[in-house]
Chain A
Amino acid sequence: MSDYLKPLPPITNLSKPYWDSLQEGALRMPQCQACSLIFYPPAPLCPGCWSRDLTWAALSGRGTVNSWVVFHQAYLKGYDNEVPFNVTEVTLDEGPRLMTNLVGIDNDDIRVDMPVQVVFDAVTDEVTLAKFAPLPGWSPEGGTP
Protein backbone atom coordinates (compact mmCIF):
# COMPACT_ATOMS: atom_id res chain seq x y z
CA MET A 1 0.00 0.00 0.00
CA SER A 2 1.19 3.47 -0.87
CA ASP A 3 0.84 6.53 1.35
CA TYR A 4 0.60 8.71 -1.77
CA LEU A 5 -2.69 10.64 -1.34
CA LYS A 6 -2.82 12.72 -4.53
CA PRO A 7 -4.99 11.70 -7.48
CA LEU A 8 -3.56 8.98 -9.72
CA PRO A 9 -4.20 8.77 -13.46
CA PRO A 10 -7.11 6.72 -14.81
CA ILE A 11 -5.09 4.34 -17.03
CA THR A 12 -6.95 2.90 -20.03
CA ASN A 13 -5.86 0.62 -22.86
CA LEU A 14 -5.25 3.77 -24.91
CA SER A 15 -3.03 5.51 -22.37
CA LYS A 16 -1.22 2.50 -20.85
CA PRO A 17 1.79 2.66 -23.22
CA TYR A 18 2.30 6.31 -22.20
CA TRP A 19 2.31 5.49 -18.49
CA ASP A 20 4.47 2.43 -19.12
CA SER A 21 7.02 4.63 -20.89
CA LEU A 22 7.31 6.92 -17.86
CA GLN A 23 7.82 3.85 -15.67
CA GLU A 24 10.73 2.95 -17.94
CA GLY A 25 12.26 6.44 -17.71
CA ALA A 26 11.27 7.51 -21.22
CA LEU A 27 8.65 9.89 -22.64
CA ARG A 28 6.79 8.24 -25.50
CA MET A 29 3.75 9.53 -27.35
CA PRO A 30 1.69 8.18 -30.24
CA GLN A 31 2.94 9.07 -33.72
CA CYS A 32 1.02 8.56 -36.95
CA GLN A 33 2.92 6.50 -39.52
CA ALA A 34 0.87 7.99 -42.35
CA CYS A 35 1.28 11.73 -41.66
CA SER A 36 3.98 11.76 -38.89
CA LEU A 37 1.80 13.71 -36.44
CA ILE A 38 2.84 13.26 -32.82
CA PHE A 39 -0.14 13.87 -30.58
CA TYR A 40 -1.41 13.78 -27.00
CA PRO A 41 -3.52 12.58 -25.28
CA PRO A 42 -3.46 9.11 -26.83
CA ALA A 43 -6.34 8.37 -29.18
CA PRO A 44 -7.59 5.31 -31.09
CA LEU A 45 -6.57 6.89 -34.40
CA CYS A 46 -4.61 9.82 -35.74
CA PRO A 47 -6.70 12.96 -35.17
CA GLY A 48 -5.01 14.48 -38.22
CA CYS A 49 -5.73 11.86 -40.91
CA TRP A 50 -7.65 9.03 -39.19
CA SER A 51 -4.94 6.51 -39.93
CA ARG A 52 -4.84 3.65 -37.44
CA ASP A 53 -1.19 3.02 -38.19
CA LEU A 54 0.28 4.43 -34.97
CA THR A 55 3.56 3.80 -33.20
CA TRP A 56 4.98 5.07 -29.94
CA ALA A 57 7.76 7.60 -30.57
CA ALA A 58 10.43 8.40 -27.98
CA LEU A 59 10.49 12.16 -27.44
CA SER A 60 13.42 14.38 -26.47
CA GLY A 61 11.88 15.32 -23.13
CA ARG A 62 12.69 18.95 -23.88
CA GLY A 63 10.22 21.77 -24.12
CA THR A 64 9.34 25.30 -23.05
CA VAL A 65 6.93 26.74 -20.51
CA ASN A 66 3.72 27.78 -22.25
CA SER A 67 1.99 29.06 -19.12
CA TRP A 68 1.65 28.29 -15.43
CA VAL A 69 -0.54 28.94 -12.44
CA VAL A 70 0.24 28.91 -8.73
CA PHE A 71 -2.44 27.33 -6.56
CA HIS A 72 -2.98 29.11 -3.26
CA GLN A 73 -5.95 26.93 -2.39
CA ALA A 74 -5.71 23.19 -1.72
CA TYR A 75 -8.65 21.65 -3.53
CA LEU A 76 -7.37 18.09 -3.73
CA LYS A 77 -6.46 15.42 -1.23
CA GLY A 78 -2.74 15.34 -0.59
CA TYR A 79 -2.15 19.04 -1.30
CA ASP A 80 -2.90 20.56 2.13
CA ASN A 81 0.77 21.08 2.95
CA GLU A 82 1.85 21.98 -0.58
CA VAL A 83 0.28 25.38 -1.28
CA PRO A 84 1.47 27.49 -2.96
CA PHE A 85 2.43 25.02 -5.70
CA ASN A 86 2.76 25.46 -9.45
CA VAL A 87 0.96 23.69 -12.26
CA THR A 88 2.73 24.33 -15.53
CA GLU A 89 1.80 23.70 -19.14
CA VAL A 90 4.83 22.69 -21.17
CA THR A 91 4.99 22.76 -24.95
CA LEU A 92 7.20 19.83 -25.95
CA ASP A 93 9.72 20.42 -28.73
CA GLU A 94 7.80 17.83 -30.77
CA GLY A 95 4.56 19.86 -30.47
CA PRO A 96 2.14 18.36 -27.94
CA ARG A 97 1.53 20.13 -24.62
CA LEU A 98 1.56 18.47 -21.23
CA MET A 99 0.21 19.64 -17.89
CA THR A 100 2.89 19.10 -15.28
CA ASN A 101 4.70 20.57 -12.28
CA LEU A 102 8.03 22.34 -12.48
CA VAL A 103 10.49 21.11 -9.86
CA GLY A 104 13.82 22.53 -8.72
CA ILE A 105 12.70 26.15 -9.11
CA ASP A 106 10.98 28.80 -6.99
CA ASN A 107 7.50 29.66 -8.28
CA ASP A 108 8.57 33.30 -8.54
CA ASP A 109 11.33 32.37 -10.97
CA ILE A 110 9.12 30.62 -13.53
CA ARG A 111 8.91 32.44 -16.87
CA VAL A 112 6.91 31.92 -20.06
CA ASP A 113 9.08 30.33 -22.79
CA MET A 114 11.79 29.14 -20.37
CA PRO A 115 13.44 25.88 -21.51
CA VAL A 116 12.72 22.78 -19.45
CA GLN A 117 13.44 19.08 -19.52
CA VAL A 118 11.59 16.07 -18.19
CA VAL A 119 12.36 14.40 -14.88
CA PHE A 120 10.66 11.21 -13.79
CA ASP A 121 8.92 11.07 -10.43
CA ALA A 122 7.96 7.55 -9.33
CA VAL A 123 5.13 8.47 -6.98
CA THR A 124 3.99 4.87 -6.38
CA ASP A 125 5.24 1.44 -7.39
CA GLU A 126 2.83 1.50 -10.33
CA VAL A 127 2.82 5.14 -11.43
CA THR A 128 5.58 7.50 -12.54
CA LEU A 129 4.74 11.11 -13.39
CA ALA A 130 6.50 13.33 -15.94
CA LYS A 131 7.63 16.47 -14.18
CA PHE A 132 9.92 19.11 -15.60
CA ALA A 133 12.97 21.04 -14.39
CA PRO A 134 14.74 24.11 -15.79
CA LEU A 135 17.40 23.30 -18.35
CA PRO A 136 20.79 23.30 -16.55
CA GLY A 137 22.34 26.74 -16.62
CA TRP A 138 19.07 28.59 -17.14
CA SER A 139 18.37 31.54 -14.83
CA PRO A 140 15.39 33.91 -14.66
CA GLU A 141 17.68 36.89 -15.19
CA GLY A 142 20.09 35.53 -17.76
CA GLY A 143 18.14 32.94 -19.74
CA THR A 144 20.16 29.98 -20.95
CA PRO A 145 23.92 30.57 -21.36
Chain B
Amino acid sequence: MAGDTDRLRRLADQAVVCGVGESAYGRRLGRSAIDLAADAIQAAVADAGLTKGDIDGMAVTFGSPLGADADTLAFALGLELKAYNQTWAHGRFTGTALQWAAMTVAAGLADVVACLAAVSFTGVRRLRVGGGGDREGAREGGGGHGEDPVYGMTSPGAGAALMARKYMARHGATAEDLAAVPISLRHNATLNPLAMYSEPLTLQAYLGARHVAEPLRIFDYCQVNDGAACVLVTTPERAADLAQPPVYLGGMQGLPAGRHEFIWAYPGFGTAQQIETDWTPGPQPVHRMAGVTPADIDAFFTYDAFSPLVWLALERWGFCGIGEVWQFTADGRIQVGGELPVNTNGGLLSEAHIMAWNHQVEIVRQLRGQCGERQVAGAEVIQWGNVYGDSLIYHR
Protein backbone atom coordinates (compact mmCIF):
# COMPACT_ATOMS: atom_id res chain seq x y z
CA MET B 1 0.00 0.00 0.00
CA ALA B 2 2.77 2.46 0.92
CA GLY B 3 4.61 1.43 -2.22
CA ASP B 4 1.47 2.03 -4.30
CA THR B 5 1.12 5.49 -2.82
CA ASP B 6 4.78 6.27 -3.56
CA ARG B 7 4.28 5.26 -7.18
CA LEU B 8 1.05 7.24 -7.44
CA ARG B 9 2.70 10.32 -6.01
CA ARG B 10 5.45 10.31 -8.64
CA LEU B 11 3.18 12.11 -11.08
CA ALA B 12 1.51 14.39 -8.49
CA ASP B 13 2.11 18.07 -9.25
CA GLN B 14 4.35 17.25 -12.23
CA ALA B 15 1.96 19.04 -14.60
CA VAL B 16 -0.01 22.27 -14.41
CA VAL B 17 -2.65 24.12 -16.38
CA CYS B 18 -1.11 27.36 -17.64
CA GLY B 19 -3.83 28.68 -19.94
CA VAL B 20 -7.54 28.32 -20.68
CA GLY B 21 -9.87 29.76 -23.28
CA GLU B 22 -13.13 29.25 -25.11
CA SER B 23 -15.21 30.36 -28.07
CA ALA B 24 -18.75 31.64 -27.83
CA TYR B 25 -21.25 28.93 -26.87
CA GLY B 26 -24.65 28.69 -28.54
CA ARG B 27 -27.03 26.97 -30.91
CA ARG B 28 -26.71 27.32 -34.67
CA LEU B 29 -23.68 29.58 -34.55
CA GLY B 30 -23.18 28.81 -38.23
CA ARG B 31 -19.47 28.17 -37.68
CA SER B 32 -17.48 25.01 -38.26
CA ALA B 33 -15.73 23.08 -35.48
CA ILE B 34 -12.30 24.14 -36.77
CA ASP B 35 -13.43 27.78 -36.79
CA LEU B 36 -14.62 27.54 -33.17
CA ALA B 37 -11.44 25.67 -32.14
CA ALA B 38 -9.33 28.56 -33.42
CA ASP B 39 -11.10 30.97 -31.06
CA ALA B 40 -10.54 28.69 -28.08
CA ILE B 41 -6.84 27.97 -28.66
CA GLN B 42 -5.99 31.59 -29.44
CA ALA B 43 -7.75 32.66 -26.24
CA ALA B 44 -5.90 30.03 -24.19
CA VAL B 45 -2.49 30.85 -25.68
CA ALA B 46 -3.06 34.56 -25.00
CA ASP B 47 -4.25 33.76 -21.46
CA ALA B 48 -1.03 31.84 -20.79
CA GLY B 49 1.24 34.45 -22.32
CA LEU B 50 2.52 31.94 -24.88
CA THR B 51 2.73 32.06 -28.66
CA LYS B 52 1.68 29.65 -31.41
CA GLY B 53 5.13 28.08 -31.69
CA ASP B 54 5.08 27.01 -28.04
CA ILE B 55 2.28 24.48 -28.60
CA ASP B 56 3.88 21.11 -29.45
CA GLY B 57 1.30 18.60 -28.21
CA MET B 58 -2.44 18.10 -28.61
CA ALA B 59 -5.15 15.98 -27.07
CA VAL B 60 -8.58 15.70 -28.70
CA THR B 61 -11.63 13.87 -27.38
CA PHE B 62 -14.23 14.78 -29.96
CA GLY B 63 -13.23 14.34 -33.57
CA SER B 64 -15.08 14.42 -36.86
CA PRO B 65 -17.96 14.56 -37.72
CA LEU B 66 -19.24 16.35 -34.60
CA GLY B 67 -15.90 17.95 -33.81
CA ALA B 68 -12.48 18.28 -35.43
CA ASP B 69 -9.68 15.70 -35.48
CA ALA B 70 -6.25 16.44 -34.01
CA ASP B 71 -4.36 16.12 -37.29
CA THR B 72 -6.71 18.43 -39.18
CA LEU B 73 -6.55 20.94 -36.33
CA ALA B 74 -2.74 20.90 -36.41
CA PHE B 75 -2.82 21.50 -40.15
CA ALA B 76 -5.49 24.23 -40.07
CA LEU B 77 -3.93 26.05 -37.14
CA GLY B 78 -0.36 25.76 -38.44
CA LEU B 79 0.96 23.88 -35.41
CA GLU B 80 4.05 21.67 -35.38
CA LEU B 81 3.14 18.85 -32.99
CA LYS B 82 5.59 16.37 -31.52
CA ALA B 83 2.82 14.27 -30.00
CA TYR B 84 -0.94 14.09 -30.29
CA ASN B 85 -3.64 11.76 -29.08
CA GLN B 86 -7.32 11.35 -29.78
CA THR B 87 -10.00 9.28 -28.11
CA TRP B 88 -13.24 8.07 -29.64
CA ALA B 89 -15.86 10.80 -29.43
CA HIS B 90 -17.19 10.64 -25.88
CA GLY B 91 -17.43 13.06 -23.02
CA ARG B 92 -16.11 10.35 -20.72
CA PHE B 93 -12.55 10.89 -22.04
CA THR B 94 -12.02 14.45 -20.79
CA GLY B 95 -10.11 13.32 -17.72
CA THR B 96 -8.24 10.67 -19.69
CA ALA B 97 -7.03 13.32 -22.17
CA LEU B 98 -5.84 15.57 -19.34
CA GLN B 99 -4.03 12.66 -17.73
CA TRP B 100 -2.30 11.86 -21.03
CA ALA B 101 -1.33 15.51 -21.37
CA ALA B 102 0.12 15.52 -17.85
CA MET B 103 2.09 12.32 -18.45
CA THR B 104 3.31 13.60 -21.81
CA VAL B 105 4.76 16.86 -20.45
CA ALA B 106 6.09 15.15 -17.31
CA ALA B 107 7.91 12.59 -19.49
CA GLY B 108 9.28 15.28 -21.77
CA LEU B 109 7.55 14.11 -24.93
CA ALA B 110 6.12 17.60 -25.40
CA ASP B 111 6.37 20.91 -23.55
CA VAL B 112 2.88 22.39 -23.91
CA VAL B 113 -0.10 20.18 -24.75
CA ALA B 114 -3.27 21.85 -25.98
CA CYS B 115 -6.35 19.90 -24.96
CA LEU B 116 -8.62 21.25 -27.65
CA ALA B 117 -12.30 20.41 -27.89
CA ALA B 118 -14.61 21.78 -30.54
CA VAL B 119 -18.11 20.66 -31.27
CA SER B 120 -20.80 21.63 -33.72
CA PHE B 121 -23.81 19.59 -32.62
CA THR B 122 -26.26 21.91 -34.36
CA GLY B 123 -24.11 22.32 -37.46
CA VAL B 124 -24.30 18.64 -38.37
CA ARG B 125 -27.49 18.18 -40.32
CA ARG B 126 -30.12 15.99 -38.68
CA LEU B 127 -27.79 14.80 -35.99
CA ARG B 128 -29.27 12.49 -33.43
CA VAL B 129 -27.52 10.94 -30.50
CA GLY B 130 -29.64 7.85 -30.29
CA GLY B 131 -32.07 6.68 -32.95
CA GLY B 132 -31.13 5.73 -36.48
CA GLY B 133 -27.70 7.36 -36.19
CA ASP B 134 -26.95 5.51 -32.95
CA ARG B 135 -23.63 3.87 -33.75
CA GLU B 136 -23.26 2.92 -30.08
CA GLY B 137 -26.30 0.69 -30.14
CA ALA B 138 -25.01 -1.13 -33.23
CA ARG B 139 -21.72 -2.14 -31.62
CA GLU B 140 -21.01 -5.85 -31.28
CA GLY B 141 -21.81 -6.63 -27.65
CA GLY B 142 -24.24 -3.73 -27.31
CA GLY B 143 -24.12 -0.06 -26.47
CA GLY B 144 -22.06 1.33 -23.63
CA HIS B 145 -25.00 3.24 -22.12
CA GLY B 146 -27.35 0.25 -22.18
CA GLU B 147 -28.41 0.80 -25.79
CA ASP B 148 -30.29 -2.14 -27.28
CA PRO B 149 -32.17 -0.77 -30.29
CA VAL B 150 -33.83 -4.14 -30.94
CA TYR B 151 -36.08 -3.36 -27.96
CA GLY B 152 -36.23 0.40 -28.64
CA MET B 153 -33.49 1.18 -26.10
CA THR B 154 -31.47 4.01 -27.60
CA SER B 155 -29.66 7.21 -26.53
CA PRO B 156 -27.32 7.77 -23.56
CA GLY B 157 -30.10 9.59 -21.69
CA ALA B 158 -32.26 6.48 -21.61
CA GLY B 159 -29.46 4.61 -19.83
CA ALA B 160 -29.36 7.41 -17.27
CA ALA B 161 -33.15 7.19 -16.90
CA LEU B 162 -32.86 3.45 -16.25
CA MET B 163 -30.35 4.11 -13.48
CA ALA B 164 -32.45 6.96 -12.03
CA ARG B 165 -35.61 4.82 -11.87
CA LYS B 166 -33.79 2.10 -9.97
CA TYR B 167 -32.13 4.60 -7.64
CA MET B 168 -35.45 6.26 -6.82
CA ALA B 169 -37.15 2.92 -6.16
CA ARG B 170 -34.31 1.64 -3.96
CA HIS B 171 -33.81 4.77 -1.90
CA GLY B 172 -37.23 6.46 -1.87
CA ALA B 173 -36.26 9.50 -3.93
CA THR B 174 -38.73 11.37 -6.15
CA ALA B 175 -38.80 13.63 -9.19
CA GLU B 176 -39.03 16.61 -6.82
CA ASP B 177 -35.73 15.51 -5.25
CA LEU B 178 -34.05 15.10 -8.63
CA ALA B 179 -35.24 18.56 -9.68
CA ALA B 180 -32.79 20.05 -7.17
CA VAL B 181 -29.91 19.15 -9.51
CA PRO B 182 -30.98 21.07 -12.64
CA ILE B 183 -32.43 23.87 -10.52
CA SER B 184 -29.15 24.29 -8.59
CA LEU B 185 -27.00 24.18 -11.71
CA ARG B 186 -29.31 26.67 -13.41
CA HIS B 187 -28.88 28.93 -10.39
CA ASN B 188 -25.11 28.73 -10.91
CA ALA B 189 -25.61 29.59 -14.59
CA THR B 190 -27.47 32.76 -13.65
CA LEU B 191 -24.12 33.98 -12.26
CA ASN B 192 -22.18 33.08 -15.44
CA PRO B 193 -22.22 35.47 -18.41
CA LEU B 194 -21.05 32.64 -20.74
CA ALA B 195 -23.99 30.38 -19.91
CA MET B 196 -26.51 29.63 -22.66
CA TYR B 197 -29.35 29.45 -20.16
CA SER B 198 -29.50 31.99 -17.35
CA GLU B 199 -33.20 32.24 -16.51
CA PRO B 200 -33.86 30.62 -13.11
CA LEU B 201 -35.59 27.22 -13.27
CA THR B 202 -38.53 26.66 -10.92
CA LEU B 203 -39.76 23.37 -9.50
CA GLN B 204 -43.13 24.01 -11.14
CA ALA B 205 -41.52 24.51 -14.56
CA TYR B 206 -39.40 21.37 -14.06
CA LEU B 207 -42.35 19.17 -13.11
CA GLY B 208 -44.49 20.62 -15.91
CA ALA B 209 -41.91 19.83 -18.60
CA ARG B 210 -42.28 16.90 -20.97
CA HIS B 211 -40.72 13.52 -20.30
CA VAL B 212 -38.15 12.23 -22.77
CA ALA B 213 -37.14 8.84 -21.36
CA GLU B 214 -39.29 8.78 -18.22
CA PRO B 215 -38.51 9.36 -15.37
CA LEU B 216 -36.26 12.02 -16.97
CA ARG B 217 -37.72 15.29 -18.19
CA ILE B 218 -36.30 17.67 -20.75
CA PHE B 219 -34.57 19.71 -17.99
CA ASP B 220 -32.64 16.60 -16.93
CA TYR B 221 -30.93 16.60 -20.34
CA CYS B 222 -27.83 18.60 -21.27
CA GLN B 223 -27.68 21.30 -23.90
CA VAL B 224 -27.07 20.50 -27.55
CA ASN B 225 -24.96 23.33 -28.91
CA ASP B 226 -21.84 24.53 -30.70
CA GLY B 227 -18.63 25.78 -29.11
CA ALA B 228 -15.01 25.08 -28.27
CA ALA B 229 -12.75 25.18 -25.22
CA CYS B 230 -9.02 24.77 -24.72
CA VAL B 231 -6.88 23.83 -21.71
CA LEU B 232 -3.07 24.15 -21.94
CA VAL B 233 -0.97 21.71 -19.90
CA THR B 234 2.73 22.13 -19.22
CA THR B 235 5.32 21.50 -16.50
CA PRO B 236 5.58 23.63 -13.34
CA GLU B 237 9.04 24.77 -14.51
CA ARG B 238 7.74 25.98 -17.88
CA ALA B 239 4.77 27.69 -16.20
CA ALA B 240 6.90 29.58 -13.68
CA ASP B 241 7.36 32.72 -15.77
CA LEU B 242 4.07 32.69 -17.67
CA ALA B 243 1.18 35.12 -17.38
CA GLN B 244 -1.10 33.19 -15.02
CA PRO B 245 -0.53 31.45 -11.70
CA PRO B 246 -0.22 27.70 -12.36
CA VAL B 247 -3.02 25.33 -11.37
CA TYR B 248 -1.55 21.97 -10.35
CA LEU B 249 -2.80 18.52 -11.28
CA GLY B 250 -2.27 16.95 -7.88
CA GLY B 251 -4.22 13.72 -8.20
CA MET B 252 -5.47 11.42 -10.93
CA GLN B 253 -7.48 8.27 -11.24
CA GLY B 254 -7.98 6.48 -14.54
CA LEU B 255 -11.15 5.47 -16.31
CA PRO B 256 -12.25 1.97 -15.24
CA ALA B 257 -14.07 -0.61 -17.35
CA GLY B 258 -15.31 -4.16 -16.88
CA ARG B 259 -18.34 -6.16 -15.89
CA HIS B 260 -18.47 -4.43 -12.50
CA GLU B 261 -18.85 -1.04 -14.22
CA PHE B 262 -21.76 0.56 -16.06
CA ILE B 263 -21.09 4.00 -17.49
CA TRP B 264 -23.89 5.63 -15.47
CA ALA B 265 -23.48 3.79 -12.15
CA TYR B 266 -20.84 2.86 -9.59
CA PRO B 267 -19.84 -0.77 -8.90
CA GLY B 268 -22.46 -2.80 -7.08
CA PHE B 269 -25.35 -0.66 -8.29
CA GLY B 270 -26.80 -3.51 -10.33
CA THR B 271 -27.44 -2.16 -13.83
CA ALA B 272 -26.38 -3.96 -17.01
CA GLN B 273 -24.35 -6.99 -15.86
CA GLN B 274 -23.13 -5.43 -12.58
CA ILE B 275 -23.62 -7.70 -9.59
CA GLU B 276 -25.64 -5.86 -6.96
CA THR B 277 -23.70 -5.47 -3.71
CA ASP B 278 -23.46 -3.15 -0.72
CA TRP B 279 -20.52 -1.34 -2.29
CA THR B 280 -19.09 1.70 -0.54
CA PRO B 281 -16.35 3.76 -2.14
CA GLY B 282 -13.92 4.40 0.72
CA PRO B 283 -10.73 6.42 0.11
CA GLN B 284 -9.77 6.39 -3.57
CA PRO B 285 -6.35 6.48 -5.29
CA VAL B 286 -6.99 10.05 -6.44
CA HIS B 287 -7.22 11.12 -2.79
CA ARG B 288 -4.01 9.29 -1.87
CA MET B 289 -2.16 10.77 -4.83
CA ALA B 290 -3.25 14.32 -3.97
CA GLY B 291 -2.98 13.82 -0.21
CA VAL B 292 -6.54 14.99 0.47
CA THR B 293 -9.90 13.62 1.64
CA PRO B 294 -13.40 14.54 0.42
CA ALA B 295 -13.63 17.01 3.32
CA ASP B 296 -10.78 19.03 1.77
CA ILE B 297 -12.60 19.56 -1.55
CA ASP B 298 -13.83 23.16 -1.96
CA ALA B 299 -15.92 22.55 -5.09
CA PHE B 300 -16.82 19.50 -7.15
CA PHE B 301 -17.20 19.24 -10.91
CA THR B 302 -18.71 16.33 -12.76
CA TYR B 303 -20.03 15.20 -16.15
CA ASP B 304 -23.67 16.25 -15.93
CA ALA B 305 -24.99 15.18 -19.31
CA PHE B 306 -28.10 14.05 -17.40
CA SER B 307 -28.99 15.22 -13.92
CA PRO B 308 -28.95 11.80 -12.16
CA LEU B 309 -25.26 11.47 -13.07
CA VAL B 310 -24.56 14.22 -10.53
CA TRP B 311 -26.26 12.15 -7.85
CA LEU B 312 -24.23 9.00 -8.35
CA ALA B 313 -20.99 10.92 -8.85
CA LEU B 314 -21.41 12.58 -5.44
CA GLU B 315 -21.96 9.17 -3.84
CA ARG B 316 -19.08 7.57 -5.74
CA TRP B 317 -16.61 10.22 -4.57
CA GLY B 318 -17.63 9.97 -0.94
CA PHE B 319 -19.44 13.26 -0.31
CA CYS B 320 -22.35 11.40 1.27
CA GLY B 321 -23.36 7.81 1.92
CA ILE B 322 -24.80 5.45 -0.70
CA GLY B 323 -28.55 6.15 -0.93
CA GLU B 324 -28.30 9.58 0.71
CA VAL B 325 -27.52 11.94 -2.15
CA TRP B 326 -31.12 12.91 -2.88
CA GLN B 327 -31.14 14.52 0.56
CA PHE B 328 -27.60 15.91 0.11
CA THR B 329 -28.54 17.85 -3.05
CA ALA B 330 -31.55 19.54 -1.40
CA ASP B 331 -31.63 23.00 0.15
CA GLY B 332 -29.13 24.65 -2.19
CA ARG B 333 -26.19 22.63 -0.86
CA ILE B 334 -24.65 22.22 -4.35
CA GLN B 335 -25.26 25.81 -5.47
CA VAL B 336 -22.65 28.53 -5.42
CA GLY B 337 -22.70 29.67 -1.79
CA GLY B 338 -23.69 26.17 -0.61
CA GLU B 339 -21.67 23.66 1.36
CA LEU B 340 -20.26 21.93 -1.74
CA PRO B 341 -20.71 23.98 -4.92
CA VAL B 342 -21.03 21.68 -7.96
CA ASN B 343 -20.41 22.76 -11.57
CA THR B 344 -20.31 26.45 -10.76
CA ASN B 345 -20.39 27.29 -14.47
CA GLY B 346 -23.89 25.81 -14.74
CA GLY B 347 -22.60 22.55 -16.22
CA LEU B 348 -23.62 20.78 -19.39
CA LEU B 349 -27.17 21.24 -18.18
CA SER B 350 -27.12 25.06 -18.28
CA GLU B 351 -23.81 26.55 -19.40
CA ALA B 352 -23.08 24.49 -22.53
CA HIS B 353 -22.06 20.99 -23.66
CA ILE B 354 -18.39 21.22 -24.57
CA MET B 355 -17.78 17.63 -23.37
CA ALA B 356 -17.02 19.20 -19.97
CA TRP B 357 -13.92 20.98 -21.26
CA ASN B 358 -15.87 24.07 -20.21
CA HIS B 359 -15.90 22.56 -16.70
CA GLN B 360 -12.09 22.26 -16.74
CA VAL B 361 -11.84 25.92 -17.80
CA GLU B 362 -14.11 26.88 -14.91
CA ILE B 363 -12.13 24.83 -12.37
CA VAL B 364 -8.93 26.63 -13.39
CA ARG B 365 -10.58 30.05 -13.15
CA GLN B 366 -12.02 29.18 -9.73
CA LEU B 367 -8.57 28.27 -8.46
CA ARG B 368 -7.17 31.53 -9.86
CA GLY B 369 -9.98 33.48 -8.20
CA GLN B 370 -11.32 34.79 -11.53
CA CYS B 371 -14.98 33.78 -11.29
CA GLY B 372 -16.58 37.06 -10.19
CA GLU B 373 -20.06 36.63 -8.74
CA ARG B 374 -19.82 32.84 -8.71
CA GLN B 375 -16.36 32.68 -7.14
CA VAL B 376 -16.07 30.02 -4.43
CA ALA B 377 -14.41 31.98 -1.63
CA GLY B 378 -10.94 30.69 -0.81
CA ALA B 379 -11.08 27.81 -3.32
CA GLU B 380 -7.84 25.83 -3.04
CA VAL B 381 -8.70 22.24 -3.98
CA ILE B 382 -11.25 21.23 -6.63
CA GLN B 383 -12.13 17.73 -7.78
CA TRP B 384 -13.22 16.54 -11.20
CA GLY B 385 -14.90 13.19 -10.53
CA ASN B 386 -17.38 11.17 -12.52
CA VAL B 387 -20.05 8.59 -12.04
CA TYR B 388 -17.99 6.41 -14.40
CA GLY B 389 -15.04 6.43 -12.07
CA ASP B 390 -12.24 8.70 -13.30
CA SER B 391 -11.03 11.75 -11.44
CA LEU B 392 -8.56 14.62 -11.24
CA ILE B 393 -7.77 16.77 -8.25
CA TYR B 394 -6.64 20.29 -9.08
CA HIS B 395 -5.12 22.69 -6.60
CA ARG B 396 -3.56 26.10 -6.67
Closest 4 CB pairs of A and B: A75-B131, A99-B148, A67-B166, A7-B149
Q: Which residues of B contact A99 (CB under 8 A)?
A: 146, 148, 151, 153
Which of A40, A41, A101, A112 interacts with B152 by CB under 8 Å? Answer: A101
Binds A, one of B87-95, B266-274, B374-382: B266-274
Cβ contact within 8 Å between A79 and B152: yes
Most buried by A among B130, B162, B270, B271: B162
Tell me the minimal C-beta distance from A78 to chain B in angstroms.
Answer: 9
With an 8 A cutoff between CB atoms, is B225 at the interface?
no
Q: Which residues of A contact B151 (CB under 8 A)?
A: 87, 99-101, 129
Cβ contact within 8 Å between B149 and A12: no
With an 8 A cutoff between CB atoms, is A36 at the interface?
no
Q: Which residues of B contact A8 (CB under 8 A)?
A: 150
Cα distance A91–B272 in the bound complex, in angstroms: 9
Tell me the minimal C-beta distance from A41 to chain B in angstroms.
Answer: 6
Cβ contact within 8 Å between A10 and B273: no
Besides A69-B162, A70-B211, 19 more A-B contacts (Cβ < 8 Å) are: A47-B259, A66-B166, A67-B163, A67-B169, A67-B271, A69-B153, A71-B158, A72-B211, A75-B132, A76-B132, A85-B152, A87-B148, A89-B146, A89-B271, A99-B151, A99-B153, A111-B169, A112-B166, A112-B170
With an 8 A cutoff between CB atoms, is A120 at the interface?
no
Tell me the minimal C-beta distance from B140 to chain A in angstroms.
Answer: 6
With an 8 A cutoff between CB atoms, is B23 at the interface?
no
How many residues belonging to A are interface residues under a CB distance threshold of 8 Å? 37
With an 8 A cutoff between CB atoms, is A55 at the interface?
no
Q: Which residue of B lies closest to A85 (CB)?
A: B152
With an 8 A cutoff between CB atoms, is B292 at the interface?
no
Cβ contact within 8 Å between B154 and A68: no
Cβ contact within 8 Å between B152 and A77: no
Tell me the minimal C-beta distance from B227 to chain A in angstroms.
Answer: 24
Q: Which residues of A contact B142 (CB under 8 A)?
A: 41
Q: Which residues of A contact B166 (CB under 8 A)?
A: 66-67, 112
With an 8 A cutoff between CB atoms, is B161 at the interface?
yes
Q: Which residues of A contact B130 (CB under 8 A)?
A: 75
Q: Known contacts A75-B131, A76-B131: does B152 contact A87 (CB below 8 Å)? A: yes
Q: Which residues of A contact B211 (CB under 8 A)?
A: 70, 72, 84
Q: Mark A52-95, 1 if CB is under 8 A from B, else 0.
A: 00000000000000111111110111010010110101010000
Q: Which residues of B contact A82 (CB under 8 A)?
A: 152
Cβ contact within 8 Å between A71 and B270: no
Tell me the minimal C-beta distance from B7 to chain A in angstroms.
Answer: 28
Cα distance A138–B254 in the bound complex, in angstroms: 45
Q: Known contacts A7-B149, A67-B163, A76-B132: does B273 contact A40 (CB below 8 Å)? A: yes
Cβ contact within 8 Å between A39 and B213: no
Cβ contact within 8 Å between A87 and B153: yes
Cβ contact within 8 Å between B212 and A73: yes
Cα distance A113–B163 in the bound complex, in angstroms: 14
With an 8 A cutoff between CB atoms, is B165 at the interface?
yes
Cβ contact within 8 Å between A129 and B140: no
Cα distance A96–B270 in the bound complex, in angstroms: 11
Cβ contact within 8 Å between B210 and A72: yes
Q: Which residues of A contact B140 (CB under 8 A)?
A: 10, 12
With an 8 A cutoff between CB atoms, is B128 at the interface?
yes
Which A residues, 92 to 114, have Cβ-Cβ distances below 8 Å to chain B? Answer: 96-97, 99-101, 111-113
With an 8 A cutoff between CB atoms, is B214 at the interface?
yes
Q: Known contacts A76-B132, A89-B271: does B212 contact A7 (CB below 8 Å)? A: no
Q: Known contacts A66-B270, A69-B213: does B138 contact A112 (CB below 8 Å)? A: no
Cα distance A112–B153 in the bound complex, in angstroms: 18
Which of B128, B148, B213, B272 interacts with A72 by CB under 8 Å? Answer: B213
Q: Which residues of B contact A91 (CB under 8 A)?
A: 270
Q: Which residues of B contact A97 (CB under 8 A)?
A: 271-273
Tell me the minimal C-beta distance from A51 to chain B in angstroms.
Answer: 16
Tell me the minimal C-beta distance from A85 to chain B in angstroms.
Answer: 6
With an 8 A cutoff between CB atoms, is B335 at the interface?
no
Tell me the minimal C-beta distance from A52 to chain B in angstroms.
Answer: 18
Tell me the minimal C-beta distance from A79 to chain B in angstroms.
Answer: 6
Q: Known contacts A40-B273, A41-B141, A70-B214: does B169 contact A6 (CB below 8 Å)? A: no
Cβ contact within 8 Å between B132 and A77: yes
With an 8 A cutoff between CB atoms, is A9 at the interface?
yes
Tell me the minimal C-beta distance from B2 to chain A in angstroms.
Answer: 32
Cα distance A41–B130 in the bound complex, in angstroms: 21
Cα distance A84–B170 in the bound complex, in angstroms: 24
Cβ contact within 8 Å between B138 and A73: no
21 contacts between A and B (CB under 8 A): A6-B149, A7-B149, A10-B138, A47-B259, A68-B165, A69-B161, A69-B162, A70-B213, A70-B214, A72-B212, A72-B213, A72-B214, A75-B155, A84-B211, A91-B270, A99-B146, A100-B151, A101-B151, A111-B169, A112-B169, A129-B150
